[in-house]
Amino acid sequence: MKYIGENLLPGDIGKFFLVLSLVASLVATIAFFKANQSKIIGEKESWLRIARFSFLLETISVLSIFVVLYYIISNHLFEYKYAWQHSDRSLQIEYLLSCFWEGQEGSFMLWSFWHCVLGWVLIKTSKDWEAGVMTVVSFAQFCLATMTIGMYFFGTKVGSSPFVLLRNEMEALIFSRPEYLSLIKDGNGLNTLLQNYWMVIHPPILFLGFASTVVPFAFAFAGLTNNKHEWIKYSLPWASFSAALLGVGIMMGAMWAYESLSFGGYWAWDPVENASLVPWLTLVAGLHCNLIYKSTGYSLRATYFFYIISFVLILYSTFLTRSGILGDTSVHAFTDLGMNWQLLIFILVFLMPALFLYFKRYKSIPTIVKEEQTFSREFWMFIGALILFLSGFVIIFITSLPVFNKIVTHFDFLKSIFKNSFAQPEDPEFTHNQIQVFVAVILGFLTAFTQFLKYKDTSKEYLRKKIIIPVIITIVISLLIIFLGGIQYDKKGIGFLVAIHMAIVGSVYTIIANASYIWLVLKGKIKVAGASVAHIGFGLILLGILISSGKKTVLSWNKTGINVLEKTKQEDPAENTTLFKGIKTDMGQYMVTYTKDSLNERDRKRYFEIDFQPKDGSKGFKVYPDVIKNNKGAEGFAANPDAKHFLFKDIFVYITSFKEDDKKDTTHFRNEVLKAGDTVYYGNGFMIFNKILLNPTEQKQKFTEDETAMFLDIQVVSKEGSRYAVMPGIAIKNQSLRIIPDTVVAQNLVVQFNKVVDQKLGKLEIGLKESKSLTTLLTLKVLEFPMIKFLWLGVVVMFIGFIMSVRQRIRNFIA
C-alpha cells in the first residue's frame, strides 16, 4: 500500500547515520586499541590516523542524527513515532529540544553527542595516553550506538530507533487507509512537567556530567591495561571538571523540582535523584584520593577504585532509570522499552574487565607501606573519601531495593532464603535524612579542619594557631543560629533536632575555616584557592539545606473548616487552605486573596493571581501559580508552583485543587430598608446592621484617595450559630457612585449597600442575594523556606571553585 503524505526521506537519512555511527565507533575502538597495543612508532601512527578518521565519521553521524531528529520533531512529522509520542503542534518552540530528550533514544543521543565533544578534546590533549583513553571512549560510543540502532541481529532486536514509523509500531484501523496521516491531527505532546525552561537547560548539563565521568575511568582503565600510572596528572583536571558539571546538573534538577513540582521542595530522595547523586559522591572521593597520590604517593589504589566505580554507577543509574524497575517508586523514571538485557550488558562490559584488571594489577599498583601520620592532610582526606563512599553505598543500597526484589522473584532458591520482599521505607525522606545528617556533620568538620593540615605531618602548635580564630568565630555564629534562628524541627524527635544543629555547626565551620584558610595561609591568593572556594560552596549548600528544610514552615494551615482534599501521603488537608475568589482569608501573618485567573493561550496554562497583604502594614506581593491539563492519558491537571523571592526567605505557593463557577447566576437582589440596630432575615439565618463607617482604614484598598467611601458594619448569624462580618460599601466621586458588595461564601450570600433613603432618620437600603453559584474557589498550599538562597548561592560558589581548580591543574600541568 502506498501511503499518502508520508515524508520518508528524513527517516532514511537518520537510519543511514545510525548504522554509520555504529560501524564508525566500532572501527574507531579497534583502531585505537591496536594503536595502544603497537610498539612500532610508524604502525602506531597509522592506526591512530584510521582511528581519528573513524571517530570523525562517528562525530558527523551523531550530529547528523541530532539534526534529522530535530527536523522531524520541529516539523511535526507524525508519521514518525518519536515525533508523535513526544511533541504536538501547540508546543512552544523553546520546548522542542525538551521533546528530543524526553524519550530514551534522544537522551542516549545527547549522551553520545557529549562523548564526541569530549573525545576531540582528549585527542588534542592526551598525548601518549590518547590511544588507551580513546579506546574506552570509542567503545562507550559503540555501546550507546547499539541503544539507538533498532535493528534485529540473529532474531534479537537491538536498541530502539528514533526513526521508526508510527504505523509499524502501533495497531490501529486507521493504518489500513492510505490517507491515515490526514486523520492524525496532533501528537501526544510533551509531558506537562517537562514544559519548563529548566528542562531545556538541565538535561544537557546533566548528561555532560554523565558523559565526562568516562574520562577518569578511561585514564584508569588505560593505566591498568598498560600497567603505567603516569595518567594520574592528566586525570586531575578532568575529575574536577566532571564533578563540577555533574554536581551542577544535579542541582539544576533540584531547581526544576523546586519551580515545577508540587511536592513542596527541591529534594525528595527520589530513586532517580539518588542514582545521579551517588556517582558524584564517589567521583569526589576519587578526586581527593587523586590529590593525595599526586602530593604524597598514597591512595593510588583507592583512586583507581573510585574512578572505576563512579562510571559504573553512572551506567547503573542508567539501568535504574530506563529499565522501568523504578516505575512504582520514582516520579520521573523512563518506561521499559524492552532493553533491560542490553542495559545490563552495558554495565557488565565495563565493570567486569575493569575489575579483572584492577585485581590482576593490584599488587603492582604503587603504594607506600608506611602508615600516614594522624596529623597529616592525606590521612583525613582519605577518611573523608571513605565517608563519601559509605554515604553513597547506603543511598544506593536503599534505592536498589526494587532491584533486589526483582532478582528474588526470578530465582526459586532465593525465594526460599528471602521469604519476604525487601520492604520499601514508608518515609524515604527521613530514612535517608537520619543517616545523611551525620554524614553532613562529619564532612562539614573534615572539609574545614583538613585544609589547615600539611601533607606528611603537621605540628600541633602550627595547627592550634591557625584554627583558633575560625573556631571562635564558628562558635559565635553557630550559637546565634541555634538560639536565635528558631529551628525547632521536632517532628522526628529531639535526637534528630540535635543532629541538625550539629550539622549547622559543621557547615558554618566549613565556610569560616575555608575563608580563613584563604586569608591566613594562602595570604589572599585567590587564584590558587579553588579547593577552598569549592569547600565554601559546599558549606553554603549544607547550611542552606539544613536551615530551609529544618525551619520550613507551613503558612496555609486550614482555619476555615472547609476541606476539599482527602488525606494522602502527599497532602494533608490541614496544611491546605481554601480560598474563594475575591474573599480575603486569614493566613497567619498575611491576609490572602484569590483575585483572578486567566488562561494563557500560548503555554495553555491557567495562572492564578494570589494577593498577599502582610498584617504588619508592609508592602504586599502577588504570586502566580498555575495549572496545566495533563496529557499522555493522565487525567486532571498538573500544578506548577510559584515563589516570591526575598533576601532571606522564599514564599512558595502551589495549587492543590481548584473549581470554577460553572453555573449561571439567575437569582436577583432583594432590597431591604433598615437603620442601625435593625435585624434582617435571610434563608439560613439573620443579620444585624450595627453602624455606618466613613472612609474606614481597614477597607482603604477598596477605594481611592479621591473617593468618599461609606461602609456598613453588618454581622451575619447563621442557624448553626456561625458568625460572619460583612462590610458592603459605596464609593462616591463627584456625581458618580460605585457599589462595593461583600460576600459570605459559606452562606452563599451577597450583600450590597444600595443607597441612603433618609439621612436624618438614618435609614438606608441594602440588597441581599442568596446565590448557589458562589463556587469559584481554589485550594492551595503555602510554605516558607528561610535562607534558601544559601543553597543556590552555594551551588554557584562550589561550581566556581571546581572550575578554578580545573584551571589551576591545567596551568600546573603545562608548567
DSSP strand pairing (584-587 vs 670-674): unpaired
Q: Where are the domains of the chain?
A: 1-195, 218-424, 456-551+790-815, 577-660+778-786, 670-771
Q: Residue 520: what pLDDT?
A: 85
Q: What cell does 38 get? A: 603497537
The model's confidence at residue 384, banded by pLDDT at 50, 70 and 90, is very high
Confidence of residue 193 (pLDDT cuts 50, 70, 90): confident
pLDDT tens for residues 70-80? Answer: 999 999 999 99
In three-state form (DSSP H/G/I as H, E/B as E, the rest C), the secondary structure along 189-200 is CCCHHHCCCHHH
Residue 223 · residue 229 · CB < 8 Å: yes
pLDDT band at residue 152 using 50, 70 and 90 as cut-offs: confident
3 state SS of 676: coil
Q: Between 563 and 400, where is the model more confident?
A: 400
Nearest to 718 by CA among 757, 762, 698, 688: 688
> Strand 763-770 relative to strand 156-158: parallel, antiparallel, unpaired?
unpaired
What the block records as the C-alpha cell of 232 is 594520574
Burial class (CB in 10 A: 0-12, 13-18, 19+), 143: buried
Digit-coded pLDDT (tens) for 79-98: 999 999 999 998 888 898 89
d(C-alpha 760, C-alpha 649), whole Å: 54
Per-residue pLDDT band for 123 (boundaries 50, 70, 90) equals: very high
- Model-level pTM? 0.85
Helices (H), 579-685: none
**Contact criterion met (CB below 8 Å) for 312 and 354:** yes
Sorting pLDDT into bands at 50, 70 and 90, what band is 504? Answer: very high
Best CA proximity match to 639, nearest among 647, 650, 627, 649: 627
User: Would you say the C-alpha torsion 642, 644, 648, 652 has a positive or negative sign?
Assistant: negative
